[in-house]
Structure 1
Amino acid sequence: MSTLIPLSPSEHKHRFIDTRRAINDFRQAQVVRLRVPEVGNAGCCFPVLITKDPQFGEWDITALTSLEPESNLFVGDEGWQGVYTPLSIRTYPVRLTRADGPEGVSVAVRAEDLSDSGAGLYDDQGQPTDYLKAIENALHEDLSGAAATRAFCQHLNGLNLIQPISITVLYKDGKSRTLEGLYTLDQDRLSSLPDKDLLELQKRGYLMAMNSMLTSLFQLNRLIQRHKEHNSVNPIQKITLQRR
């Protein structure tokens, strides 16, 4: 992994971030990371699912952007084309890194992320530009959202509410593919929860996000339509979602 360089006005006053190039890095991202506070907005645009890190076993919330691997139907030549832009895309390629000082963190980028044109980082007085201020605010929002997401997923997993699914995609030419490694909420298990568990979910503010995740599955139809717009020769005929 490339070394992160902390941003400073003395070093980066005349450097920029090429935002179009940054968005292009997501062109092959079939899933995009979300935080639980984003689920309501994201669910109006994408299917919102749960994934599991195969190495560390940690749960995460993701937006499904395509029914094909290494494809993102929301990145085009003009940049991001989704109605909602996830935090992970809004903040990229700027990151938070540990630093000395009262906040304990600073913003940083990789050397290859810097450009001679694009969105400026500091103005002529060495003050952060509106672009960088917005990024910093979004990064702190993402940081707090990460903790909320871990707690959310751990609580749902403790109630056995996370259910694996597979999505089978059938094309016009008769061929098919199956998407694995995806999870959603177990509706049957949810409907049979004891009242005390439902009250705890409500108390934690989780029920609204859970409902948004379930209704977001209808956005699979949007992915079918967007795929047809990108591939009219061999469009998707239908999909089958199987809960396991």
Structure 2
Amino acid sequence: MEKQDIQLLDKVKHKDIKINTQAVDVLQNQVNVAFVVVNELSAITHEYPIFITKNPNTGQFQLVALLGFKSGENLFIQDGKWQATYLPLDILRRPFQAMLEKEGDTSSGRIAIDMSSEQVQTNKGEPLFNDDGSATEFLQRVQTSFSQLMGGTERTTQILQTAGELGLIEGINLDIELPNGEKRGLNGLYAFNQEAVTYLTGANLETCHQQGVLQVCHLVLSSGLHLNKLIKWAS
């Protein structure tokens, strides 16, 4: 993999940089999962299968959109175009990333840019800064995406922690057989247990209702039907 060149965004150093947003079949998007926050679930579950994984650094549950069945496989990219109306915030923010002052602390941070990205150009694309050094409308949208991601991460973690404590999350092995007979398997995934969610009662049910856990459970469970689309694309 090409070595990244991560630089803190600077209005002087990067005044001539443009981002070619039309280029989606690029290395940074060749991933089989995208991280998801709860505030985008109502849109994203219409097109993507959503699962749960564990953050390898913190051990906390997190939501992901499944994009492919093996590492580096993004089935949503076909013929250089993204095959969905909605792009996950985690994809939309690239080639930018948040540089947090303290790992895991999403309350503050600065935006950095990966200068090695194929989207980073000087002659074609969306400019980052106006002549007076102010952020362009495009960069403002990028900043908004980060605000939504960072704000949504904490709420997502809280909701999934509650769901886990109430026994609503279970580990699963995703075993897929493609129409051509090829078998694919994904480990390390978790999902909401439909039966456990259905039989919530009393104080636990009230807690899930008040904290928004129930809505998240139902949205994520409904997204499973999009697996069939990925299976068709992968064959």
TM-score by length of 1: 0.82
1:216 counterpart (202, 215, 223): 223
* Separation in structure 1 between the aligned mates of residue 5 and residue 135 of structure 2, nearest angstrom: 22
Please say which structure displays the higher CA radius of gyration.
Answer: 1
1:146 equivalent in structure 2? 153
Structure 2 unmatched ranges of 5 or more: 102-106
Counterpart AA for 1:105 = G
TM-score by length of 2: 0.85
Structure 1 unmatched ranges of 5 or more: 228-234, 236-244
1:107 equivalent in structure 2? 111
Deviations 1:181-203 (A, max 9, x none): 11110112222223211111111
1:8 equivalent in structure 2? 10
Task: Give the secondary-structure state (helix, strand or coil) at the position aligned to 1:10.
Answer: coil
* Separation in structure 2 between the aligned mates of residue 50 and residue 104 of structure 1, nearest angstrom: 25
Q: Equivalences for 1:47-126 in 2 at 5 Å?
A: 47-98=49-100, 105-113=109-117, 114-116=120-122, 117-126=124-133
Deviations 1:51-110 (A, max 9, x none): 1234542211001112344311112343322221100011112123357xxx95332213
* Separation in structure 2 between the aligned mates of residue 75 and residue 9 of structure 1, nearest angstrom: 32
**2:191 is equivalent to residue 191 of structure 1:** no
Q: Equivalences for 1:163-178 in 2 at 5 Å?
A: 163-178=170-185
Matched pairs, number: 225
1:171–1:79 CA distance, 2 compared to 1 (3 A): closer
1:175–1:8 CA distance, 2 compared to 1 (3 A): closer
1:164–1:6 CA distance, 2 compared to 1 (3 A): same
Deviation at 1:171, TM superposition (A): 3.3
Counterpart AA for 2:41 = V
In the TM superposition, structure 1's runs of 4+ consecutive aligned residues that sit over 6 Å from their partners are none
